Structure 1
Amino acid sequence: MKRFMLAATCAAALALASSALAQEKIRLTGSGASFPAPIYMAWFKDLGKKNPNLTVDYQAKGSGAGVQDFLNKTVDFAASDSAMKKEDMAKVPEGVQLLPMTAGEIVLAYNLPGNPKGIRLPREVYSSIFLGKITRWNDARITAANPGVSLPDLPITVVVRADSSGTTAVFTKHLAAINDEFRKSLGEGNTVNWPASDKFIKSPKNDGVTATVRQTPGAIGYIEYAFAKLAKVDYALLQNKAGQYVGAGNGGETLAAVKLPPDMIAWLPDPDGAKAYPITSYTWMIFRKSNADPKKAQALRDMVEYGLTHGQKMADAMGYIPLPAGVVDQVRTAAANIK
């Protein structure tokens, strides 16, 4: 009888310990931007290995949808390439903390017969393509910038985002900065009214635009550099503010010249510098400052700290820009506001 009681006591103690251990396991949910999704997915997978009690589930559904999920309180955090509007922040009684967690470049991926590499696109040309003003690949303004390259007499199919997209916001902010007609007629934002033309095709998320460009001869579309790198698609050399043609992969110098204000939101619509890549942007995670569960708040801070340390080491290889050291310090300090 004593043996039975001892065994029962041990079993109960074991079950209690197991239950306590299970209670320590925390699951975080997030949604939003597809721009940083590849690196975030890599982070969260590795974080789960390093801390088996912490699971982070992230759904890449577009910046606009992520912000809406955050406002609806269906996620613990959101991610957006277009930060968050002040009027949306005002709807969150717990307070909002934005943290730039990584940065990247938007490239113009294209699909041309013969796969010519590094097609040069002047500022006037690529902004006019997305206005629907330049419609063929052998347009004189494109051929003049690419001497010795045989460009086909082929219609340009422009691939744009179908969803509410921070990538679109960053891209159109740049186009509006360099082309007055674009600013006046289309403007900037997560969605814009692209020209009504059968040569404009809409696809969801960065991977959708990437796939459509790959499948469509004569196509050009804007995607995050990491997607172009992963899919091995050709992308253009873009003319920057200094008049130089540059390719993606050189955004570190551009970011280092930007100082983040207290709200942690800074834009680079048309950066200076001979080597500056013209379409470079931070991308943000969005948190509530006040969280009902202190353990979940600690887990969110742990997730941020992982991204600032181990996570930054993955950035370059995956086609993202490691945060400058000063920015890492600023983000770490601001992350203490998540309570």
Structure 2
Amino acid sequence: MLRHLAKTLALVVALSVGAGAAYADTTLKGAGATFPHPLYSKWFRDYQAEDPSVTFSYEAKGSGHGIKRIISGEVDFGATDKFLTDQELKGAPGKLLHVPTVIGAVAVAYNIPGIGAGLKLTPQALAGIYQGKITKWNAPLLAKLNPKLRLPAQEIVVVHRSDSSGTTSIFTDYLSAVDKSWATSVGKGTSVAWPVGEGAEGSSALVKKIGETPNSIGYVEIAYALENDLNTAALKNKSGKFVKANVLSTRAAAVQAMKKQTGKALSAEPDFRLSLVDQPGKESYPVVGLTWLLVYQEQRDAVQGKKLVEFLRWQLRKAEKMTSTLHYTPLPDTWTRQVEQTIDSIRVPQ
């Protein structure tokens, strides 16, 4: 089931230990989010084809890991789906920049034997399942939402991330926005005290657990769900429409969010720390988030810094064209100049 992602990961590893590394002069080290990992893996591979002097080493162990490693100075970039607060930024040894790369959707995947596509969930139903208030698939609320599905009288197996995860941050940000009881009892963050459920470390492990566990439900970046043939639920959005996660519904949500944030994004010093969940619009999917690369504005090493900036410019100008094939959504064109401005502000020693 995970064959595709395994191949992708193998290719990334090959960049560090294979023949390409024999003539690579510079290794850019990164760590963090699994949310964009399938896409970043392709970017790293394609970029090395353009610049063989660079190779990449990336530890996909969750956003919390990426934040920790970049703050400690152990990597050249940290990848995260959860933006840092002002207080967290103050804890870094230098000024950290949030460079947004793409937009992704967090899908609610499920494995109900005998039930294929078509499951519908409201915010209250989803929050109820993850709070342990709704415990069986044929519960009255779920049955009412899905009259055409013969939902079984089976216990719901709730699956969540056990590591510090940006995907969890987006998912719990959404639940906090749409359900008051969730906001007050559980809240949001890269790690929360889950009321119920089984944990899985990393997106790949979560996908595997859902695929192997009958009557399970979990949340995962849409690329992982689609690549592994998992069914995903249609969620009721702010406009009252049931929408599934895809490139179009993700972009629709992003467009709505950008309308509200235009003034902030176009400021003298762009700040791309935005939440995109629960946006209005009939076509908007409600669980959407940005993902960022965290880099220091003041680079310590001239060569590493120069190569990092070159890569960041490349992914902004060229790599966004690759996003849709892996089910991610590129940044709006109106953001290009502002993101470029952020990248240009990185200072490299001479």
Q: Same fold (TM over 0.5)?
A: yes
Q: Percent same amino acid at aligned positions? A: 33
Query: For the Cα contact (< 8 Å) 1:97–1:337, is it kept in 2?
Result: no
1:184 correspondence with 2:168: no
1:306 correspondence with 2:314: yes
Query: For the Cα contact (< 8 Å) 2:71–2:93, is it kept in 1?
Result: no
Query: CA shift at 1:24, angstroms?
Result: 8.2
Tell me how large the CA RMSD over aligned residues is. Answer: 1.5
Residue 10 of structure 1 is matched in structure 2 by none
Residue 344 of structure 2 is matched in structure 1 by 336
1:227 correspondence with 2:224: yes
Residue 147 of structure 2 is matched in structure 1 by 147
Q: 2: distance between equivalents of 1:301 and 1:315?
A: 20
Residue 271 of structure 1 is matched in structure 2 by 279
Q: Could you list the per-position Cα deviations for residues 171-228 of structure 1 after superposition, in whole angstroms to 9, with x for gaps in the alignment? A: 1011011101001110111111111x4xx10001111111100010000001000100
Q: How does 1:228-307 map to 2 (within 5 A)?
A: 228-249=225-246, 250-257=249-256, 258=258, 259=261, 261=264, 262-307=270-315
Q: State the secondary structure of the residue aligned to 2:329.
A: coil
Q: State the secondary structure of the residue aligned to 1:130.
A: helix
Q: How does 1:41-80 map to 2 (within 5 A)?
A: 41-80=41-80
Query: CA shift at 1:322, angstroms?
Result: 1.2
Query: CA shift at 1:23, angstroms?
Result: 10
**Which one of 328, 334, 349 corresponds to residue 326 of structure 1?**
334
Q: Could you list the per-position Cα deviations for residues 244-282 of structure 1 after superposition, in whole angstroms to 9, with x for gaps in the alignment? A: 000011211221231363221111231111111000110
Q: 2: distance between equivalents of 1:211 and 1:338?
A: 39
Q: State the secondary structure of the residue aligned to 1:154.
A: coil
* Runs of 4+ residues over 4 Å off in structure 1: none
1:84 correspondence with 2:84: yes
Q: How does 1:122-141 map to 2 (within 5 A)?
A: 122-141=122-141
Q: 1: distance between equivalents of 2:331 and 2:313?
A: 13
Q: 2: distance between equivalents of 1:244 and 1:256?
A: 17
Larger Rg computed on CA atoms: 1
Q: Could you list the per-position Cα deviations for residues 138-181 of structure 1 after superposition, in whole angstroms to 9, with x for gaps in the alignment? A: 11111111122111111101000100111111110110111010
Q: 2: distance between equivalents of 1:212 and 1:89?
A: 35
Query: For the Cα contact (< 8 Å) 1:288–1:338, is it kept in 2?
Result: yes
Query: For the Cα contact (< 8 Å) 2:174–2:278, is it kept in 1?
Result: yes
Q: State the secondary structure of the residue aligned to 1:174.
A: helix
Residue 107 of structure 1 is matched in structure 2 by 107
Equivalent residue letter for 2:316:
L
Query: For the Cα contact (< 8 Å) 2:108–2:218, is it kept in 1?
Result: yes
Residue 198 of structure 2 is matched in structure 1 by 201
Q: 1: distance between equivalents of 2:90 and 2:316?
A: 27
Q: State the secondary structure of the residue aligned to 1:75.
A: coil
How many aligned positions are there?
315
Residue 14 of structure 1 is matched in structure 2 by none
Query: For the Cα contact (< 8 Å) 1:106–1:222, is it kept in 2?
Result: yes
Query: For the Cα contact (< 8 Å) 1:94–1:291, is it kept in 2?
Result: no
Residue 163 of structure 1 is matched in structure 2 by 163
- Report which stretch shifted further, 174-183 or 304-313: 304-313
Q: Could you list the per-position Cα deviations for residues 78-97 of structure 1 after superposition, in whole angstroms to 9, with x for gaps in the alignment? A: 01000123222112333111
Query: For the Cα contact (< 8 Å) 1:34–1:63, is it kept in 2?
Result: yes
- Residues 213/24 of structure 1: CA separation in 2 closer, same or farther (3 Å cut): closer
Stretches of structure 1 lacking an aligned partner (at least 5 in a row): 1-21
Query: CA shift at 1:328, angstroms?
Result: 2.2
Q: 1: distance between equivalents of 2:25 and 2:170?
A: 37
Q: 1: distance between equivalents of 2:33 and 2:85?
A: 15
Q: Could you list the per-position Cα deviations for residues 99-155 of structure 1 after superposition, in whole angstroms to 9, with x for gaps in the alignment? A: 111110001100011242021111211111111110111111111111221111111
Q: 1: distance between equivalents of 2:184 and 2:202?
A: 26
